[in-house]
Structure 1
Amino acid sequence: MVRASLLAALLIVLAACSRDGALGPFAESQVPPALTPRFYPPEGWAWGFIGVGDKPVQRYGVGSTRRVPTATIVVVPGYGETAEMWFETASDLIDDGYTVWILDRAGQGGSGRYVAPRDLGHVPTFDPDIAALREFVRVVVRPAPDTPLVLLSHADGVVVALSAVRAGMKADGLIASSPQLANVEPGRRLLGSVRRSDTPPPGWKPWSRETPDDREAGSTHDAWRGKVGQAWRVANPDLRMAGPSLGWTKAYEAASRLTETGAAQTRTNVLMLNPATSADALCQRLPQCRVETILGARPAMHLEADEWRMPWLKVIEAFTETRPQTADQAPVSPVRPRP
């Protein structure tokens, strides 16, 4: 459990706060003029901040259906993503009757930063991400007992989501979209200690307008959705992200290794969509996990062309509408059959 001292220091701010220099949180993002309305914030979208202990606060956003929601979905983005990049998907899910929350990752998006420059992704460990997600769900989201709670993670966000569940956070299900764990080659030790873990790796370059967008980076086929993240960063300098620090990479490796070793203690139903090899191997070790493949889709399926994005949305909605059986109710097996 989170220590009492951390709980006492829990900070929740329900309105946009002012920035504390270059490292402070940021919520008042300006809509890029180049975007069409489908990429705007969902109707009634609201921002807030949550912090645990003395760590930089993290930004979250929320939108909900006008009717009684049939489920609550909490999005855990991947590295370098901002909540803004999920607005179109959030709107689609809200229209289908869900409440959608998005929690920006520690040191990324609109969350406060650990170090300068602001576009250097750095955390000393994934523990703040994991603790913040647990307290966010427990204290802010507070899902109703009769409303399923489903985590929707992307890429390395699966490490945060699975770790939070393993640490005791209650969730009815977890969807991992293009999940990936850090690739630590057999026989190689984790990235060793470095003199300054909050420094960029050799060859690191700051964000610039020449930084490849998501289509150019091979994350999506869609030319328009591929420009969404870049458009938000051009219009909002505080959201810009380049590559991670040495410390972030070390923290990712350590958290991935712990996720693998603690797989048997993960008590929720997991669906992995187009997992990387490392995540697929992990799925076989989880008590309840299955894999589905959307052939031809690139990793950022929330930004993919409709040929792949629409089937992706249908799988998410089908999983969410079927209240998953909890691991306490289901027999535990180290391997689940693949479809």
Structure 2
Amino acid sequence: MVRAFLLAALLLSLAACERDGGREPFAESRTPASLAPRFYPPEGWAWGYIGVGDQPLQRYGVASTRRVPVATVVIVPGYGETAELWFETASDLIERGCTVWILDRAGQGGSGRYVLPRDLGFIPSFDPEVAALRELVRVVVRPTPETPLILLTQADGAVVALSAVRSGLRTDGVIASSPQIAEPPEKALLGPVKRASKPPPGWKPWSRERADDRAAGRTHDAWRGQVGHAWMTANPDLRLAGPSLGWTKAFETASRVLESGARQVRAPVLMLNPDRGADAFCRQLADCTATTLSSARSALHIEADRWRRPWLDAVEAFIDARRSDGATATISAVPARS
């Protein structure tokens, strides 16, 4: 077995701009001046790193409610998303009484990179980040029986979270937002192995002219659609463009392994707007519910309130259903936002 080690610290003095383009992990991002306060880091937010074996370190962040938490939520973003894109959702969940952790994906966000250029998405396998998620929960989060542990995932992050559960991670439930499971390719995507960490034909590096999430069709919301682009503009080390052939192959491989072990996923699962592969996988699980938010785009956590509010309500209801005290969280009034 791969021996794991933990490096967890508050990294308050990193000079990210000096390492632009390097492989090192990155914390303490600069908040873009263009963002409204609701997109700022939650109060008390702190960063740390988790490492498994000789793999690049992955960045995580955490903040908690001031009262006894009703649940612990670990967020696993989708491809191309940084932890910063989830700050608004983290604040909402903290306001509802949760402790919230966000684990940047391997080779993405503030995590260390496997290859250069830094904005090329590459990972040789999903196994290291599955292992990192398990170690984060076991060594750092250390959930207690009194407080339910919920994994909240986005897009292909569902493969990471569900693979961790399949391989033995104990959790009280998984919420998969717009989950994606790779379709089998019509033909092999990789030629020689040396091509795995190279950009595919037509790949373009990240640029300021790159479409934001609204222009890319991930959300209807003009303000939330700018958030990810703003963080990457202000913090070059966070930038990520399209995936390499190797990342795509790793996603396909992890999807096939996950599908073959559906019976080993015993935790309750809620899927919100699953793609075809995820919906079919849900039907194989012992306890899985799939729900559709009609006309919503793929990034429900940054959607317009018309869709995001019922999405957040569904997330909260799932968490409340797993609370041992049977109580419901107190919800503060939240003004309308668009």
Matched with 1:283 is 282
The 2-side partners of 1:124 and 1:230 are apart by 26
Matched with 1:29 is 29
**Over aligned residue pairs, what C-alpha RMSD do you find?**
1.6
Displacement of 1:14: 1.4
- Structure 1 runs (4+) greater than 2 angstroms displaced: 17-21, 187-196
Q: Is the 8 A contact 2:48 2:61 kept in 1?
A: yes
Matched with 1:235 is 234
Q: Deviations over 1:209-254 (max 9, x none)?
A: 1111000010000000000000000000000000011110110000
6, 9, 14: which one pairs with 1:11?
6
Q: Is the 8 A contact 1:190 1:254 kept in 2?
A: no
Counterpart of 1:266 in structure 2: which amino acid?
V
The 1-side partners of 2:320 and 2:99 are apart by 13
Does the residue aligned with 1:162 lie in a helix, a strand or coil?
Answer: helix
The 1-side partners of 2:140 and 2:146 are apart by 17
Displacement of 1:191: 4.7
Q: Deviations over 1:183-221 (max 9, x none)?
A: 214x75575653321100000000001111000010000
The 1-side partners of 2:92 and 2:192 are apart by 44
The equivalences for 1:63-78 within 5 A come to: 63-78=63-78
Q: Which moved more, 1:97-106 or 1:315-324?
A: 315-324
Matched with 2:331 is none
Counterpart of 1:42 in structure 2: which amino acid?
P
Structure 1 unaligned regions, length at least 5: 326-339
Displacement of 1:156: 0.1
Displacement of 1:294: 1.1
Identity of aligned residues (%): 66
The 2-side partners of 1:267 and 1:214 are apart by 34
Counterpart of 2:146 in structure 1: which amino acid?
D
Q: Is the 8 A contact 2:175 2:315 kept in 1?
A: yes
Q: Deviations over 1:114-138 (max 9, x none)?
A: 0000000100000111000000000
Displacement of 1:15: 1.9
Displacement of 1:105: 0.2
Does the residue aligned with 2:7 lie in a helix, a strand or coil?
Answer: strand
Matched with 1:251 is 250
Q: Is the 8 A contact 1:26 1:112 kept in 2?
A: yes
Q: Is the 8 A contact 2:147 2:323 kept in 1?
A: no
Matched with 1:55 is 55
Displacement of 1:11: 2.5
Q: Deviations over 1:124-170 (max 9, x none)?
A: 00011100000000000001111000000000000000000000000
The equivalences for 1:9-158 within 5 A come to: 10-16=5-11, 18=14, 21=19, 22-158=22-158
Does the residue aligned with 1:72 lie in a helix, a strand or coil?
Answer: strand
Structure 2 unaligned regions, length at least 5: 325-338
Q: Is the 8 A contact 1:72 1:99 kept in 2?
A: yes
Counterpart of 1:12 in structure 2: which amino acid?
L
The equivalences for 1:174-323 within 5 A come to: 174-185=174-185, 188=187, 191=190, 193-323=192-322
Q: Is the 8 A contact 1:269 1:324 kept in 2?
A: no
The 1-side partners of 2:189 and 2:161 are apart by 21
Residue 50 and residue 280 in structure 1: after superposition, are their counterparts in 2 closer, same or farther (change >3 A)?
Answer: same
The 1-side partners of 2:286 and 2:190 are apart by 29
The 2-side partners of 1:62 and 1:113 are apart by 22
Displacement of 1:324: 7.8
Displacement of 1:287: 1.5
The 2-side partners of 1:6 and 1:190 are apart by 32
The 2-side partners of 1:62 and 1:129 are apart by 18
Q: Is the 8 A contact 2:301 2:308 kept in 1?
A: yes
Q: Is the 8 A contact 1:184 1:190 kept in 2?
A: no
The 1-side partners of 2:183 and 2:145 are apart by 38
